[in-house]
Every structure is written in structure tokens, then in C-alpha cells.
Amino acid sequence: MKVMYERCCGLDVHKKSVTACRMTPEGKDIQTFNTMTDGVMALVDWIKEEQCTHVAMESTGVYWKPIYNLLELEDIEAIVVNAQHIKAVPGRKTDVKDAEWLADLLKHGLLQGSYIPTREQRELRELVRYRRSLVEERTREVNRLQKVLEGANIKLSSVASDVLGKSGRMMLEALANGQEDPKVLAQFAQRRLKNKKAELERALKGLMGSHQRMMLRMQLGHIDDLSERIAEMDNEVQERMRPFEEDLALLDTIPGVGLRTAEAIIAEIGNDMSRFPSAAHLCSWAGIAPGNHESAGKRKSGKTRKGNKKLKSALTEAARAVARTKDTYLSSQYHRIAARRGKNRGAVAVAHSILTSAYHMLQRREPYRELGPTYFDERKKEVVTRQAIKRLEDLGYDVTIEPTA
């Protein structure tokens, strides 16, 4: 086979060690390094000794990141490869053989690197992902608080739509501090909740033990702490998103996509769409495209492939949000598919449409264009008309139709 890179190196990366295979015209050299900072720096110097221009490694967890960062600083082209694409023959697998296999494939140009964003975007991605983790943790803590209230038979959520709203928060703090009189607790109601004082008194009549009050105090404090951290992360993300304000404004025009979803999309894929050959490639990379599994002429499971979990989750949330809107193309698409294939498939299909729209909008620098809720019917107008007439005739009606003026 044709040699593409004369001087290259393959790395088998683990938590505590890195096995490196260096291939040059002079021969092959193999060495193992530890993953402490001094070991990684020694590895980089060892790679530079023979003037290796390309390095390939598996994308194992997060262990590739510090090595990639140092190689990036030394202007050595590093390729992070999907482990599924380079599986060795079972029974012949060792760290040394894996490193040799990687180096050999790289030498002949048979490896395709994964998409790795720039350092600035990687930092932004980590911040956005961590903020999402904080928001999810806050939601879990609110659910734990709700369980404590249910255990004490406090049915506040049955009356108030937001347990942690202004009224609910004051009631919970009073409960945590030992107040048990439902009439006193109901006096904390604000605005429209004042009209439900009789229901509140019934809902706030329960039996709360001392351990439940202690848990309630700790949970409220934890929620406040998480809220402060989320606000701090919001400020940091907002500051780093300033160069992408125009892109965020474009994505915000898509129904169901709010500011946080737009920030998640930009953090995961950036605003340069030239790195993806087409919208279909991007959707496949994100893991929201149907899989291909066909054998002997039979099409088997077409479940979605593994992809970017964070992006897929954000897009699916946006799809479920847009499903509740009215008079939109995406809402019509969701209900059309969900009626036949189920809600989950409908959400993934709409998420696919959202990401496809985002790709073309960022590529062409154009806002979202609404196709309307009747888009699918307009495409097959004659078929829909014929089916509607037939159903009415089957019910015993004589149907004549005339187009409206």
C-alpha cells in the first residue's frame, strides 16, 4: 500500500500509561510512558525526536485530552479516532499491538479523525455542559424536596403550580422553621394564589417530623447554592458567547429553540459548517439519523447510532417543546409521525429537522423560514382531497367541492 506519512506515531492511551509506537523510514520504535504531566511531556519530546508529523490515538474517555492539548501546542497534527473503527482481531490484542496497529493504519492513510473543535470552543463546550449538569442537579434536588413534602402529606404542589415560587418558597421556609398552622402558612400566598387560601389550608395540613424539617432546610439551601452557581455559569457563558451573538439570534428564530438550546448547539458544533460535508453528515454525527442494518435483503433495526449525547439531548428537548406549539411546520411534523410511530420517534425526527435547519441557516446566514402547518397536505393536495371525499361518501353523503375565491 502507498505510504501517506513517512514519520508518524500511534498511541494506545490508558488512565495510567500510554504505549507509543513510532514509525519512521529507519524503523519502528515502541515505548511506554506514564500519564503524569512529566510523562506526557517526555512522550511529546520522544515523538519530536524523529520529527513525526502525525499522531493517532483512540478517543478513550477523557484520557486523550491532555496529550492532545500538548501535541496541539507543538503544531503536531493529532488525530483522535473512534475505537469502533480500528478494532483488532480478538485474541491478538495487547497494548503494544494496538499501538503498532494504529501507527500502521495512520502510515497508510487509513484513519479518519473525529471532529475536535478549537481550544476556545472546547472550553466553551465544557462550560455549557457543566451548566447543564448543574441545572439537572437542581431539578433532581427539587424532586427530592417534593418527596419530603409528600412524605409529610403536604400537598402544596396540588394547589400551587410552582412550589418554589415566591409564595411557595415562603411557605416552605416557614415549614422548615417549625410553623405548622395551615392558616398562618396560607397567609404567605401572593397574587392569584390568594384566591385559593381555602385549598391551601387543606393542602398545608400535614404531619411533618423533625427529621423532615431538617431535610427541608438542607434541600432549600442546596437549591439556593445551585441557583447561584448556575447564575455564575450563565454570566461566564454569556461573556464567551459574545462573538456568536449573530448566530444565536439566527438559531433563536427556530420554533422550540430558546437561548440555552442555541448556546448548546453553538458550543457543540460551532458556527463554521464547512467541517461537515452536508446536513446529513452532521445529523449522523449527532446521533439523530436512522441507522442502517440490512442483511440478506432484509432491513433490520434502524435505531439511531451513538453520537453526541449532549447535543442530541438538547435537540430532543427542543423537539418536545415545539410539539406543544400551534400552526408550525415542526409541530405538524411531530404529530404526524407520533401518531404512527410513537412520541419518541416523532421527537427524534423533529430534532433531525431542527439540526438540518440550523446547518443551512449557519451556512447561508439566513433566518428560519416557516413552511406552515399545512405544508404536508399541500404537497399531496389531490391525494388528501380524494381521501376526504371518499370518507364522506362512505358515510352516505353526496360530495361536490369548489375552490374558495
> Are 221 and 250 in a shared domain?
no
Kindly report the average pLDDT of the chain as a whole number. 90
Give residue 257's domain range. 245-291+305-364
> Are 197 and 261 in a shared domain?
no
> Are 59 and 132 in a shared domain?
no
Query: pLDDT tens, 347-370?
Result: 999 999 999 999 999 999 999 999
> Are 343 and 250 in a shared domain?
yes
- CA–CA gap between residue 245 and residue 329 (Å, rounded): 26
> Are 187 and 103 in a shared domain?
no
Q: How many domains does the chain have?
A: 4
C-alpha cell at 179: 410553623
Sheet holding 54-58, edge to edge: 27-34, 17-24, 8-13, 54-58, 77-81
> Are 129 and 165 in a shared domain?
yes
Domain ends where: 225, 240, 255? 240
> Are 137 and 167 in a shared domain?
yes
Query: pLDDT tens, 97-106?
Result: 888 889 999 9
Is the pLDDT reported for residue 376 higher than 90? no
pTM: 0.84
Is the pLDDT reported for residue 59 higher than 80? no
Q: Which of 153, 116, 386, 141 is nearest to 268 (CA)?
A: 116
Using CA atoms, how far residue 118 sits from 68, 129, 307, 310, 360, in Å, is 11, 16, 19, 18, 22
> Are 233 and 256 in a shared domain?
no
> Are 103 and 59 in a shared domain?
yes
> Are 99 and 139 in a shared domain?
no
> Are 359 and 395 in a shared domain?
no
Is 300 part of a structural domain of the chain?
no
- CA–CA gap between residue 68 and residue 366 (Å, rounded): 35
Is 236 part of a structural domain of the chain?
yes
Query: pLDDT tens, 150-189?
Result: 999 988 888 888 888 888 899 999 999 888 888 888 888 8
- CA–CA gap between residue 67 and residue 37 (Å, rounded): 9
Beta strands in 74-164 (DSSP E): 77-81
Helix axes 329-341, 343-364, angle to 10 degrees: 150
In this prediction, residue 89 has a pLDDT band, given cuts at 50, 70 and 90, of: low
Contacts of 76 (CB under 8 A, 6+ apart): 44, 47, 48, 52, 53, 54, 55
Is 298 part of a structural domain of the chain?
no
> Are 225 and 125 in a shared domain?
yes
- CA–CA gap between residue 234 and residue 191 (Å, rounded): 29
| Ramachandran angles phi, psi of 354, nearest 5° | -65, -45
